[in-house]
Amino acid sequence: MNKKVAIGIIAAIVIIALLGFGLMGNKKVTSSQGVSSSNSNGNEIIINGFRFSPDNLNVKVGDKVTWVNQDSAGHTITSDSGSVLNSPILKNGESFSFTFTSTGEYSYHCSIHPGMKGKIIVS
């Protein structure tokens, strides 16, 4: 085998390995309202199969809602109007929590997959 070809192959393998380790080490849970590993009030919405489940949730003022991404794709929680809900892209296993301090209906969607919709009704 040509020496230059062998060096090129080795360099490519090293670069791919370094990129792979860099991506694996970059897993973290993010939230603009705080990280939550458990939600004691039971107001949890699971993201799976490109759906929010439940897609409608009734809560009270002061309740915290936590969205947990169990999907293979990244998703966001984004207000349909205004900017009340504005999560970063959540990767698999990551969560986003928000505490609702005012009554009203809060419709939201995934900005990456706009067909994914949900609503929080706060009383």
Domain ranges for the chain:
29-122
Q: Model confidence at 13, in pLDDT bands (50, 70, 90)?
A: low
What is the topology classification, in CATH, of domain 29-122? Immunoglobulin-like (2.60.40)
CA-atom Rg of the chain in angstroms = 20
Q: Model confidence at 74, in pLDDT bands (50, 70, 90)?
A: very high
Whole-model pTM?
A: 0.69
pLDDT of residue 42: 78
Write down the mean pLDDT value for the chain.
79
Mean pLDDT value across residues 103-107: 97
Q: Which has more pLDDT, 93 or 6? A: 93
User: What is the helix (H) or strand (E) element at residue 12, kind and residue range?
Assistant: helix 3-24
Share of the chain above pLDDT 90, in %: 65
pLDDT of residue 28: 34
Q: How far is CA 87 from its chain centroid?
A: 7
Give, in order, the Cα–Cα distances in Å from 36 to each of 14, 55, 80, 91, 123. Answer: 37, 20, 24, 15, 23
Other residues' Cβ atoms within 10 Å of the Cβ of residue 97: 20
Mean pLDDT value across residues 24-50: 58
Mean pLDDT value across residues 30-55: 71
